[in-house]
């Protein structure tokens, strides 16, 4: 099995990856989880994942989130976040996602600006105006490449 990108979180042993296998919708790619020495396809995945290196992330409980793929680049690349066994679609245009060590969800919007999600308010808050090419969240905050 070959993968385009892989994601993990320091708070658990879960690994999730975007494969080179096309999603059943025909757009984007299938995601897989690693368990007991083998890669397992998540057949419940609602949309194909994009191939950006920061297009998939794992929360502290081992749940994946990814930015959906849009082959025409003319519709929003929504976030799909799996909580337990249910997928939640977050209707915001997104290129990249990351989780902080406390479970905070971050995203890079389609203008390359970062946002933080506040679950209790169900609201995205923009984090400044700086455009970033790549980003990651870690124990000590966000890391960015301009």
- Nearest alpha carbon to residue 16 among 57, 70, 61, 72: 57
Give rounded-to-5 percent helix, strand, coil for the chain: 0, 55, 45
pLDDT of residue 70: 73
pLDDT score of 72: 64
C-alpha span between 126 and 5 (Å, rounded):
26
Q: Where are the chain's structural domains? A: 3-145
**Domain range 3-145, CATH architecture:** 6 Propeller (2.120)
pLDDT band at 138 (very low <50, low <70, confident <90, very high): confident
pLDDT at 75: 58
Tracing tokens 């794992």 back to the chain, one arrives at: 58
Residues 48, 23 contacting (CB under 8 angstroms): yes
pLDDT digits (tens, 9 = 90+) for 51-62: 888 899 999 999
Whether this model's pTM surpasses 0.85:
yes
Distance CA 127, CA 124 (A): 9
């Amino acid at each position: 099995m070959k993968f385009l990108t892989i994601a993990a979180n320091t708070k658990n042993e879960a690994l999730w990856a975007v494969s080179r296998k096309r999603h059943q919708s025909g757009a984007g790619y299938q995601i897989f989880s690693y368990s007991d020495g083998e890669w397992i396809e998540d057949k419940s995945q609602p949309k194909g994942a994009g191939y950006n290196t920061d297009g998939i992330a794992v929360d502290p409980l081992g749940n994946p989130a990814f930015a959906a793929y849009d082959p025409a680049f003319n519709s929003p690349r929504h976030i799909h976040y799996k909580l337990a066994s249910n997928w939640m679609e977050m209707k915001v245009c997104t290129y990249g996602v990351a989780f902080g060590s406390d479970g905070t969800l971050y995203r890079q919007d389609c203008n390359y600006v970062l946002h933080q999600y506040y679950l209790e308010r169900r609201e995205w808050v923009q984090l400044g105006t700086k455009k970033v090419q790549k980003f990651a969240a870690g124990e000590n905050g966000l890391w960015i490449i301009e």
